[in-house]
Amino acid sequence: MKAIVRETYGPPAVLHLEEVPLPTVGDGDVLVRVKAASANAGDWHLLRGTPLPFRLVAGLRKPKFKIIGTDIAGCVEAVGPRVTQFRPGDQVFGELSRCGFGAYAEFAVAPEKALALKPANLSFEEAAAIPTAGCTALQGLRKGRIERVRRVLINGASGGVGTFAVQIAKTFDVEVTAVCSTRNVNTVRSIGADHVLDYTTKDFAAIGQRYDLIMAINGDRSIWDYKRALTADGTYVMTGGSNRQLTDALLFGPLLSIGRQKLGNVLVKPSQADLLILKVLCEAGKIRPTIDQRFQLGEVAAAVRYVEDGCARGKVVITV
């Protein structure tokens, strides 16, 4: 089969197309003929081996995973003897970060719990855009107790995770304020945001508004800015952004959460149950992936570079 491989850590240029053997199918595994994949920020971290502690899992000097990529959608080609949920011909989507990655290839193998039946009303490209970004948005909002709040601020609302977060939040009938750049204002407004703040002209921390839940997906803001913008019992959840945002959430979040406010990050976990929730929301017409760019399998390096440069408006997908 054809796959995008790398032998060393480095920039997207280390990726190249190569013929490799089909992956081995274990007793509880599903072999998927990949129709589409999608690029995520985690791809370029995995590609470059950053931050450095990540290499304790991914390989110290040499990457353990030659084929990267987490999100897939495709057709079941074969199943192991202990698989009960799927059969050949089923259309599925899923997330491979806990089972060796490997999305950027013509075939991928995964345990059945990493997959779910594809939303019937979506294309393979749209379905491949969901797993990592959709689950991150869903789990972040869940940690922020979305079911209890009235006002939500989403910083970084125009990216892959952000576009899902806006739409999922609106299913709870809350008032959503989205923060993005000038070029993305119309996109974010079109997916349901009640208010849109262009961060080049307005500072959410300086306008005096308070929010019950703030979700930080992109950006480089101090945790003190987020704290000032929270209500007295509000929650701040960091899922991405600069190293400063991550460090603040890890170091200061627990200290600032002693009172009624809660500030911290969410460690996203692959979840078949959450894939099924997202499938239901898609089939009900309540959420839909926002796709910015489409690339071919041989163009994965360009797709990852595009995501790393911070240019993506919504999701970037790869047609296999």
Mean pLDDT of 148-167: 97
pLDDT at 62: 92
Contacts of 266 by beta carbon, 8 Å cutoff, 6+ apart: 136, 139, 140, 143, 237, 238, 239
The pLDDT score that the predictor gives to residue 242 is 85
Surface-to-core class of residue 21, CB atoms within 10 Å of its CB (0-12 exposed, 13-18 middle, 19+ buried) = exposed
Residue 203, pLDDT score: 96
Q: Is the pLDDT of residue 55 over 90?
A: no
Least confident of 166-170, 189-193, 307-311, 312-316: 307-311
Q: How far apart are the first and last CA of the chain?
A: 11
When pLDDT is averaged across residues 183-196 and rounded to a whole number, the result is 97
Which segments of the chain does DSSP mark as H helices, in order?
A: 41-48, 55-58, 124-128, 131-143, 160-170, 185-190, 223-228, 243-251, 253-256, 272-283, 300-308
Band (241; pLDDT cuts 50, 70, 90): confident
In this prediction, residues 65-93 reach a mean pLDDT of 98
CATH superfamily of 2-130+289-319: Medium-chain alcohol dehydrogenases, catalytic domain (3.90.180.10)
201: left (phi over 0), alpha (psi -120 to 50) or beta: alpha
Whether pLDDT at 164 is above 90: yes
Task: Provide the residue ranges of all domains of the chain, joining segments of one domain with +.
Answer: 2-130+289-319, 133-265
- Rounded to the nearest 10 degrees, the angle between the axes of helix 272-283 and helix 131-143 is 100
Question: For residues 52 and 174, which has the higher predicted lDDT (pLDDT)?
Answer: 174
- Residue-wise pLDDT for 12-29, tens only, equals 999 999 999 999 999 999
pLDDT digits (tens, 9 = 90+) for 81-107: 999 999 999 999 999 999 999 999 999
Q: Which two tokens stand for residue 227?
A: 């704290």
Fold of 133-265: Rossmann fold (3.40.50)
The pLDDT, as a whole number, for residue 157 is 97
Q: Check if the beta carbon of residue 229 is closer than 8 Å to that of residue 252.
A: no
- Spatial separation of the C-alpha atoms in residues 80 and 86, rounded to whole Å: 10
- Please state the φ and ψ torsions of residue 115, each to the nearest 5 degrees: -125, 160
On average, the pLDDT of the chain sits at 95
Q: Given strand 195-198, what is the order of strands in its sheet?
A: 195-198, 175-180, 151-155, 211-216, 230-238, 262-265
133-265 and 2-130+289-319 share a CATH fold: no
Q: What is the pLDDT of residues 278-301, one digit of tens each?
A: 999 999 999 999 999 999 999 999
pLDDT of residue 31: 98
